[in-house]
């Protein structure tokens, strides 16, 4: 039985050389030549990208095969499932701050690497972020990613509205900063544990983002530095959005701040409750 299913295929769990792997099976729609051509294009594209990418925060490519009717892509298996699944199991409870910042850093570091190679992911969202056994994040699903060249012709059909930058929704030319916008929404998900624009349909969310400048509401108890990163990342103007290299630096500062606060709290606890001798 597949453990996940999408528009173009199904994901299965398997073993290869004694290790657990994820197998994405794509069925070529022979009755629809146009769709078959699109699928082939996405298959080749994903294989080429995954074979190029080597980073601890990007799902590891193991192999691929293309035979009549069925094609497959084999990658490492993430035991924790998707970040979206992890958050939904928590039932709108926020992720512990230390873990949320660590996982946000994982995504930012992986995306800094992807952008450094000139690629755009285009569909960055909690569904496409996988959690491995040590709770680190692996970026997955590069089937809709594009090399950052000739961005004029890119269209947003493959993205998801709740995470999608305004320029993508409007079919305007765009660049790598669309991924930064999406990251801002993912960071909000980690901080709140909630679904973005949960009270709207995806289309209503897209309309609100583009025409009313609506963004998810940052909770009042959110760490100010994290709120500031979200606000910059999802700014309407792509030029205002920071590159991922800067996002990494900002999150590293937040991580230090969080660790320092935790140490101080532990120290105060030890002073308040000194050990007693028997």
Taking 70 as the threshold, does the pLDDT of residue 256 lie above it?
Answer: yes
What percent of the chain lies above the pLDDT cut of 70? 83
Task: Provide the strand spans (E) within the chain.
Answer: 4-5, 9-16, 19-27, 61-66, 70-76, 119-120, 129-131, 137-139, 146-147
Between 250 and 201, the higher pLDDT residue:
250
Structure tokens at 43: 């298959």
> For residues 260 and 270, what is the distance between their CA atoms, to the nearest angstrom?
15
Band of pLDDT at residue 208, cut at 50, 70 and 90: very high
Average pLDDT for the chain: 85
Cα distances from 221 to residues 9, 75, 94, 192, 218, in angstroms, run: 41, 39, 11, 10, 9
Q: What is the mean pLDDT of residues 103-121?
A: 96
Band of pLDDT at residue 124, cut at 50, 70 and 90: very high
Instruction: Report the chain's terminal Cα–Cα distance, integer Å.
Output: 59
pLDDT score at 278: 47
Helix 244-272 with 97-116: angle, nearest 10 deg: 160
Q: What is the CATH number of domain 83-262?
A: 1.10.510.10
Tell me the HSE value of 106 on the side-chain side, using a 13 A CA sphere: 25
List pLDDT tens digits, range 159-181.
489 999 999 999 999 999 999 99
pTM of this structure? 0.85
**152: buried, middle or exposed (CB in 10 Å: 19+, 13-18, 0-12)?**
exposed
Q: Are the beta carbons of 251 and 104 closer than 8 angstroms? A: yes
> For residues 160 and 197, what is the distance between their CA atoms, to the nearest angstrom?
12
> For residues 69 and 26, what is the distance between their CA atoms, to the nearest angstrom?
8
Taking 50 as the threshold, does the pLDDT of residue 157 lie above it?
Answer: no
pLDDT score at 154: 45
3-state secondary structure 172-192: CCCCCHHHHHHHHHHHHHHHH
CATH fold group of domain 4-76 = Phosphorylase Kinase; domain 1 (3.30.200)
Q: ∠ CA 97-244-237 to the nearest 5 degrees? A: 105
CATH 1.10.510.10 domain extents, the chain: 83-262
pLDDT score at 147: 46
Rg (CA), the chain: 20
Tell me the HSE value of 189 on the side-chain side, using a 13 A CA sphere: 27
Taking 50 as the threshold, does the pLDDT of residue 150 lie above it?
Answer: no
Residue whose C-alpha is closest to residue 102's, from 224, 230, 258, 263: 258
Among the ranges given (141-145, 155-159, 260-264), the one the predictor scored with the smallest mean pLDDT: 155-159
pLDDT score at 220: 93
Catalytic residue among 123, 141, 179, 235: 123
CATH 3.30.200.20 domain extents, the chain: 4-76
Q: ∠ CA 264-269-275 to the nearest 5 degrees? A: 130
Catalytic, 32? Answer: no
Q: Under 8 Å CB-to-CB from 216, ≥6 apart: which residues?
A: 185, 188, 192, 194, 196, 197
Structure tokens at 253: 């500062």
pLDDT score at 42: 78
> For residues 120 and 14, what is the distance between their CA atoms, to the nearest angstrom?
29
pLDDT score at 108: 98
pLDDT score at 24: 84
pLDDT score at 120: 92
> For residues 108 and 28, what is the distance between their CA atoms, to the nearest angstrom?
34
């Amino acid at each position: 039985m597949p453990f996940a299913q999408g528009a173009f295929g199904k994901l299965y769990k398997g073993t290869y050389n004694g290790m657990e792997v994820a197998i994405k099976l794509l069925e070529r729609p022979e009755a629809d030549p146009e769709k078959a051509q699109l699928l082939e294009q996405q298959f080749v594209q994903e294989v080429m990208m995954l074979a190029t990418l080597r980073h601890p925060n990007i799902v590891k490519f193991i192999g691929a095969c293309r035979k009549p009717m069925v094609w497959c892509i084999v990658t490492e298996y993430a035991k924790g499932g998707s970040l979206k699944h992890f958050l939904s199991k928590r039932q709108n409870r926020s992720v512990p701050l230390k873990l949320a910042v660590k996982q946000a850093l994982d995504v930012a570091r992986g995306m800094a690497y992807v952008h450094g190679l000139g690629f755009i992911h285009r569909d960055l969202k909690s569904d496409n972020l996988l959690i491995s056994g040590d709770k680190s994040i692996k970026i997955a699903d590069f089937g809709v990613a594009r090399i950052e060249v000739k961005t004029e012709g890119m269209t947003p059909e493959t993205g998801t509205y709740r995470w999608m930058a305004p320029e993508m929704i409007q079919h305007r030319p765009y660049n790598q900063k669309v991924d930064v916008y999406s990251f801002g929404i993912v960071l909000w998900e980690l901080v709140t544990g909630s679904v973005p624009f949960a009270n709207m349909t995806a289309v209503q969310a897209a309309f609100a983002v583009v025409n009313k400048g609506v963004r998810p509401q940052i909770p009042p108890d959110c760490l100010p530095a994290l709120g500031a990163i979200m606000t910059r990342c999802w700014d309407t103007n792509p030029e205002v959005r920071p590159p991922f290299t800067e996002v990494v630096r900002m999150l590293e500062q937040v991580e230090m701040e969080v660790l320092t606060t935790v140490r101080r709290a532990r120290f105060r606890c030890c002073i308040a409750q000194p050990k007693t001798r028997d």
